[in-house]
Structure 1
């Protein structure tokens, strides 16, 4: 698509981005409801962690199927289904009193959440030119974090006021009703380009997934997403509030307010990162490297600080970690740039598996280590450092291979999204296609 997007495309995007806002609200609601859930369902730390592990696990497992479904049926239908699943899951959570029913509710929520973001990104790819993709994606994350913001102090006040059942029941009903708006207002493609995707066999779908995975830039996007967004996710989805309240002795109200730092950091960082990488695509990977280096330093400070960590350290530390979510959007830009449009949904789903797969691993590891160490949060959070180190290593491997593939394309005279110069650390071109 060339030129600038029209008003119709912007309105379609806003309608779809609101679905993402609702999905993020439901996803992060356990961040402040976790302690109340522990009392409601009479469970400990490991069992409480299972709620998030199940939800994020379902989300992760569904990312590649979601990409395939979006490419096949179009984002409008998938977003409509997402809203119905999200609404049903939250209504079920509102009336749940048993641990098993609560787990089922979070699983249904995870399924609805899984169908959302890839669908919105596929709409952006269809309605906006490539040079606007990163900016509009950053606006999408901005809107999503408004849902995260609503799931902090406002949700805490609602849970303390009207209570668990009315709060989650209304949230579920509003979400389900919004499905009618999406079904009638969202169009999969710009005017005049509406077309039903041809039916393809299961073998062809598998071939598309494999083709997306074999693109070095897709693999690089996977590891960028894996490394950058899991740590803020783990803290906002589940373990941030317990860490602050039980591990650092911070009052619950103050801890809830501290989680807003993640929201504000992402709200500010999203458009900033999107604007920079749209204007200067060559800065994408240096920004990833700078973030990962800074995040390693932040975790070193937080986990080795003598005694209780003061707010003057927690606030800037959390603010920097929050930038991981905007920086992780670089992974989607890589998938969009190096895959043909009919395969962008599938490639985006592949990339999205990265960060949420890492979130699942880290959240589960923290819960298990808390049980083994008798609630020692700093020891448990060392698992975050291990996942961060592993993801950074794999990202560096595929960064070099993706650069080599780009050199090969340039040598063939192909048009490439970003022109780069060879550096001393670059690998020989034939290794670019190693799998």
Structure 2
């Protein structure tokens, strides 16, 4: 067991966090260039949603296999290959001109990105003391949320600087990805080397996939946490990766201002993730944080949909709190690791991430279909009412997350619910 920080461990974790930032950027950047893509590729709202979902489908489907692979083989090789695959997808997307190839290149990005979060969490468990795990998850989410922030206002400014040449910008981004892949391959190590005289246990995690899944399927708490995480997180990609910029433009904002305001979703998520992790670690209580996140998300989404907000600072606050509420998913990752046996922790984290991103893959096309209903113009220009017809599902899912956190999730007190508690007899 690791008892203190190491600088090299921090460096390794930093490289893995950079990939997490990179993959978060890849999730979101289409939102900023959505108008250009829909015009160049002749897409309506449903087509655009499906092409964007090309990222989230492999991302979600790979999470459990990624957890098993990381359990077995460690993070270094897998991360190196994954970053290269994601960068290849970005390079390809910068060259394509059709919906079909756009979907396939997004698929490559999603496949590579699927290794980022689970590998990062496993490296955090291997290199840092257990008592700091919730904080490290939160800091990782803070760094990761910088990616979507960069994909908002800063990317919009770059587009203005390069005369809307998004293809050239993506080419540079793919080169950065390949450089990161080389760095990870050279410097990342899966875990610290053992000290002389340290007791070594043979790897106990050789169970078949069916056995591991059976353990998870029987764990009711794990499933409650998984659904909470998926419900509380969904509004973030709906607004941040799909419809936020377009919705704000429909309300009369310029592209630059709309993209900048959408970035406040990720600022809220970036601040909320380490803060909620730290608070839950210090209080040794996870449930109050989950309840709070579900509640403020419900209030914020109801506000932007049903209150006629014309004040931009107030609108920014609502977007910020939606992002903050979504950070409850980072506490859920720490919580699920405490409710499952040690030998399936990475698989459980993968399941949690899989369901979270699966919802982010299947619901945006449904929202796109609802937005498209009633649109008469061939240019596919959407009104505020069109957007709100689809985005109404956001407060519904926050309400469900609130109910689950109140009545179905048990407190873990920040310790494993399967560990042997040692009692000293006097």
TM-score higher than 0.5:
yes
Moved over 6 A (4+): 193-199
Provide the C-alpha distance between the structure 1 equivalents of 2:301 and 2:42, rounded to a whole number of angstroms. 32
Q: What are the residue-to-residue correspondences of 1:158-169 with 2, within 5 Å?
A: 158-162=158-162, 163-169=165-171
Instruction: Decide which of 369, 377, 380 is 2:387's aligned counterpart.
Output: 377
Q: What's 1:361 paired with?
A: 362
Q: What's 2:277 paired with?
A: 274
Provide the C-alpha distance between the structure 2 equivalents of 1:74 and 1:388, rounded to a whole number of angstroms. 35
Q: What's 1:318 paired with?
A: 319
Q: Is the 8 A contact 1:67 1:345 kept in 2?
A: yes
Q: TM-score scaled by structure 2?
A: 0.88
Q: TM-score scaled by structure 1?
A: 0.86
Which ranges in structure 1 are unaligned for 5 or more consecutive residues? 417-435
Provide the C-alpha distance between the structure 1 equivalents of 2:89 and 2:142, rounded to a whole number of angstroms. 24
Superposition deviation, residue 332 in structure 1: 0.8
Q: What's 2:22 paired with?
A: 22
Provide the C-alpha distance between the structure 2 equivalents of 1:199 and 1:131, rounded to a whole number of angstroms. 23
Superposition deviation, residue 157 in structure 1: 2.3
Q: Equivalent residue of 1:5, what SS?
A: coil
CA RMSD in angstroms comes to 2.5
Q: What's 1:216 paired with?
A: 220
Q: Is the 8 A contact 1:223 1:392 kept in 2?
A: no
Q: What's 1:415 paired with?
A: 421
Superposition deviation, residue 177 in structure 1: 2.5
Superposition deviation, residue 312 in structure 1: 3.3
Q: What's 1:430 paired with?
A: none
Q: Is the 8 A contact 1:73 1:197 kept in 2?
A: no
Q: What's 2:65 paired with?
A: 65
Q: What's 2:192 paired with?
A: 190
Provide the C-alpha distance between the structure 1 equivalents of 2:125 and 2:140, rounded to a whole number of angstroms. 13
> Is 1:86 aligned to 2:86, yes or no?
yes
Q: Is the 8 A contact 2:371 2:388 kept in 1?
A: no
Q: What are the residue-to-residue correspondences of 1:227-246 with 2, within 5 Å?
A: 227-246=231-250
Provide the C-alpha distance between the structure 1 equivalents of 2:102 and 2:398, rounded to a whole number of angstroms. 30
> Is 1:131 aligned to 2:134, yes or no?
no
Q: Equivalent residue of 1:218, what SS?
A: helix
Q: Equivalent residue of 2:234, what SS?
A: helix
Q: What's 2:378 paired with?
A: none
Q: Is the 8 A contact 1:145 1:266 kept in 2?
A: yes
Q: 1:180 to 1:196 in 2, by over 3 A?
A: farther
Q: Equivalent residue of 2:349, what SS?
A: helix
Provide the C-alpha distance between the structure 1 equivalents of 2:185 and 2:281, rounded to a whole number of angstroms. 31
Q: What's 1:175 paired with?
A: 177
Q: Equivalent residue of 1:29, what SS?
A: helix
Q: What's 2:298 paired with?
A: 296
Q: Equivalent residue of 1:189, what SS?
A: coil
Q: Is the 8 A contact 1:216 1:398 kept in 2?
A: no
Provide the C-alpha distance between the structure 2 equivalents of 1:325 and 1:267, rounded to a whole number of angstroms. 10
Q: What's 2:379 paired with?
A: none
Q: 1:275 to 1:388 in 2, by over 3 A?
A: closer
Q: What's 2:257 paired with?
A: 254
Q: 1:42 to 1:164 in 2, by over 3 A?
A: same
Q: Deviations over 1:388-407 (max 9, x none)?
A: 344444555531xx45x99x
Q: Deviations over 1:110-147 (max 9, x none)?
A: 11111110110011111112111011111111111121
Q: Equivalent residue of 1:323, what SS?
A: helix
Kindly tell me the number of residue pairs found equivalent between the two proteins: 405
Superposition deviation, residue 56 in structure 1: 1.4
Q: Is the 8 A contact 2:295 2:399 kept in 1?
A: no
Q: What's 1:347 paired with?
A: 348
Superposition deviation, residue 285 in structure 1: 1.1
Q: What's 1:422 paired with?
A: none
Superposition deviation, residue 281 in structure 1: 2.2
Provide the C-alpha distance between the structure 2 equivalents of 1:107 and 1:172, rounded to a whole number of angstroms. 15
Q: Equivalent residue of 1:4, what SS?
A: coil
Q: What's 2:230 paired with?
A: 226
Provide the C-alpha distance between the structure 2 equivalents of 1:398 and 1:125, rounded to a whole number of angstroms. 27
Provide the C-alpha distance between the structure 1 equivalents of 2:123 and 2:236, rounded to a whole number of angstroms. 26
Q: Is the 8 A contact 1:73 1:196 kept in 2?
A: no
Provide the C-alpha distance between the structure 2 equivalents of 1:173 and 1:329, rounded to a whole number of angstroms. 30
